[in-house]
Amino acid sequence: MVVPRFWRERRSRYSLIGTRCPVCGTVYFPPRSVCPKCGRKSVGKMEEVQLSGKGKVYSYTIVHQNVIGYKYQKPYVMAIIETPEGPKLTGQIVDVEPEKVHIGMPVHAVFRRIAEDGKAGIIQYGYKFIPDEE
Amino acid sequence: MVGIVTYGSYIPIYRIKTAEIARMWGDKPEHPEKGLGLFAKSVPAYDEDAATIAVEALRNALRRKNIPGDKIGAIFVGSESHPYAVKPTASLIAEVLGAYRAHAADLEFACKAGTAAMQNVYAMVKAGMIDYGVAIGTDTSQGQPGDALDYSASAGGTAYIIGKDEVIAEINHTVSFVTDTPDFWRREGQRYPSHGGRFTGEPAYFKHIMSTAKMLMEEAGTKPEDYDYVVFHQPNGKFPYRVGKRLGFKEEQIKPGLISPYIGNTYSGGTPTGLSTVLDIAKPEDRIIAVSFGSGAGSDAFDITVTDEMENFNRDAAPKVWDMINRAKYIDYATYLKFRRMIVEVD
């Protein structure tokens, strides 16, 4: 990811900041500047909302492939997390044995390194998830 | 009254037993336990570093008492393992907090950068420059495989928010002592630190901690028996008892704040996390003395009194240090090398 794109998205990636449409109440993450349901009625009115970081596993997969930058972490769990606010977030589940992950498992967001742009590039930080309790 | 408004710690979930490290390097498994008083050390996961530990510790502090980012006027992060050589950790913390009108800087002073951060914030609050400030001690410390430090260099951190309203622990006095003592160092570009072996004891750890503790008690007009708890920098499980006894403290004052036997030496996180462990159990009017040590070398000492506000403070809103010590997943030496990125690079 190029530096400016990561930099633009840092607030939402660090602190799970999305947006809410004041017309229909739908919450979006990543943030949207226009609600796709309400269209022009939402323009200029979208409100920032911070997600709680809580959620449940909606679906997941265990990655065994040698994905560049993730070889040291495999096998690792990529999941879709259903949040109480509405949006479904994609993220890694860490600090857990992959075989213990199951659909419906309660998780919460933690702050981790997501990727590194080689040895000399920037370190991208953001959210991953860990189980609430095993 | 100036003091701690809220606090939080973070210790990574992974541990390696010192007996496993001894097995790897041909030492007797009981050697680190008997010789150093160390049973296990915390290990950062592959995707953890001093910045992620700082954020998790700070979020635990904010779970106990939320201070809005626009009220925070200073952020100092002490570490000797800042993720970047050039680019501050403190600016990342500012972004996480949404604290943009803040004095922010990274500090480095071996194992005492965290307490140096606390002193800086304390001074700015006391001077009336800011209402609240954040001080963090965090590290993923490096020990060369096979070196004595391999048994102790671990990971963890603690965040304090210091202010003057709703203070749970008043900082009555703080003093420091510093000399140019080359007991431990790491040159630019070097991956692992070097140290003076036995020279790290008497002229370094003991001299600085004893001098600073005595200076503090002289300024405060106190004696060792006036304190309920004493926290020392904890590079292993033995030095704190030894320095404490020489100063006239008893084992029961030292033990509650000594966690290095179970998680190792968290460097800049060491004394702040020992203090955090004591704050997890302290009652109003308990008096605490905390003395850090940073190689190179210097010590910062704090005389602290827990206030009645502790009764209203929601300590249970975040995990306590012992909750995190007990939440452990043990790994072998090969996994440790992988997590610490000590395996020759693979793509």
| CATH number of the domain bearing residue A79 | 2.40.50
**How many A-B residue pairs are in contact by the CB < 8 A criterion?**
49
Cβ atoms of residues B280 and B320 within 8 Å: yes
Per-residue DSSP letter, A44: T
**Sheet order of strands, B298-306 included:** B103-107, B72-78, B132-140, B155-163, B3-10, B169-178, B298-306, B287-291, B229-232
What are B40's strand-pairing partners?
B17
Cβ atoms of residues B162 and B4 within 8 Å: yes
ipTM value, please give it.
0.96
Nearest beta carbon to residue A94 from set B45, B59, B98: B45
Nearest beta carbon to residue B347 from set A11, A14, A68: A68
Angstrom distance (rounded) from CA B155 to CA B331: 15
The CB density around residue A118, as the number of other CB atoms within 10 Å, is 7
Please identify every residue of B annotated as catalytic: 80, 111, 233
Flag if B47 and A71 touch (Cβ within 8 Å): no
In the numeric block, which tokens belong to residue B41? 């050390």
Per-residue DSSP letter, B170: E
Q: Is residue A30 part of a domain?
A: no
pLDDT tens, position by position, for chain A (134 residues)?
789 988 999 999 999 999 999 999 999 999 999 999 999 999 999 999 999 999 999 999 999 998 888 989 999 999 999 999 999 999 999 999 999 999 999 999 999 999 999 889 999 999 999 999 75
Angstrom distance (rounded) from CA B213 to CA B286: 18
Cβ atoms of residues B6 and B61 within 8 Å: yes
> Under DSSP, is residue A41 helix (H, G, I), strand (E, B) or coil?
helix
Flag if B52 and A112 touch (Cβ within 8 Å): yes
Q: Is residue A86 part of a domain?
A: yes
Angstrom distance (rounded) from CA B231 to CA B292: 8
Closest-approach residue (CA) in chain A for B82: A123
Nearest beta carbon to residue B83 from set A68, A72, A123: A123
Residue-level pLDDT at B345: 66
Mean of the per-residue pLDDT values for chain B? Answer: 96
Closest CA of chain A from B171, distance in Å: 30
Q: Which residue has the tokens 């910045």?
A: B51
* Torsion angles phi and psi, residue B339, rounded to 5: -60, -40
Instruction: Write the DSSP assignment of B102-123 as a string of letters.
Output: -EEEEE-BTBTHHHHHHHHHHH
Residues of chain A with Cβ-Cβ distance to B48 below 8 Å are 112-113
Closest-approach residue (CA) in chain B for A95: B13
The set of long-range contacts for B198-201, using a CB threshold of 8 Å and a minimum separation of 24, is: B200/B235, B200/B295, B201/B239
Quick: pLDDT tens for B155-187. 999 999 999 999 999 999 999 999 999 999 999
Q: Is residue A41 part of a domain?
A: no
- Provide CB contacts within 8 A for B303, sequence distance 6+: B171, B172, B173, B174, B216, B217, B219, B220, B222, B287, B288, B289
Flag if B83 and A71 touch (Cβ within 8 Å): no
> Under DSSP, is residue B300 helix (H, G, I), strand (E, B) or coil?
strand
Which residues, given as ranges, of chain B have pLDDT below 70? 345-347
Quick: pLDDT tens for B203-253. 999 999 999 999 999 999 999 999 999 999 999 999 999 999 999 999 999
Residues of chain B with Cβ-Cβ distance to A49 below 8 Å are none
What are B298's strand-pairing partners?
B178, B294
Residues of chain B with Cβ-Cβ distance to A73 below 8 Å are 46-47
Q: Is residue A12 part of a domain?
A: no
Angstrom distance (rounded) from CA B65 to CA B205: 35
First to last CA, chain B: 54
Distances (CA, A) of A105 to A54, A88, B203, B332: 11, 14, 53, 27
Closest CA of chain B from A129, distance in Å: 12
Residue-level pLDDT at B347: 54
Residue-level pLDDT at A7: 92
Residues of chain A with Cβ-Cβ distance to B334 below 8 Å are none
Flag if B45 and A95 touch (Cβ within 8 Å): yes
Residues of chain B with Cβ-Cβ distance to A125 below 8 Å are 51-52, 55, 92
Residue B52: name the closest of A91, A39, A13 by CA: A13
Closest CA of chain B from A14, distance in Å: 6
Residue B238: name the closest of B265, B216, B215 by CA: B265
- Provide CB contacts within 8 A for B128, sequence distance 6+: none
Residue-level pLDDT at B346: 58
User: Which residue range is the domain that position A83 belongs to?
Assistant: 52-131
What is the β-pairing status of strands B3-10 and B14-17?
A: unpaired
Flag if B83 and A94 touch (Cβ within 8 Å): no
Which residue out of A16, A17, A112 would a mutagenesis test of the B interface target, given it has the greatest number of B Cβ atoms within 10 Å?
A112
Residues of chain B with Cβ-Cβ distance to A128 below 8 Å are 47
Q: Is residue A20 part of a domain?
A: no
Number of domain units in chain A: 1
Residue-level pLDDT at B298: 97
Flag if B52 and A72 touch (Cβ within 8 Å): no
Closest CA of chain B from A119, distance in Å: 11
Element (H, E) at B177: strand B169-178
Nearest beta carbon to residue A73 from set B46, B98, B347: B46
Q: Is residue A44 part of a domain?
A: no
Q: Is residue A79 part of a domain?
A: yes
Residue ranges of E strands in chain A: 17-20, 27-28, 47-50, 54-63, 76-82, 88-93, 106-116, 123-131
Length of chain B counted residue by residue? 347
Closest-approach residue (CA) in chain B for A67: B347
Structural domains for chain B:
3-169+311-339 (3.40.47.10), 171-309 (3.40.47.10)
Q: Is residue A28 part of a domain?
A: no
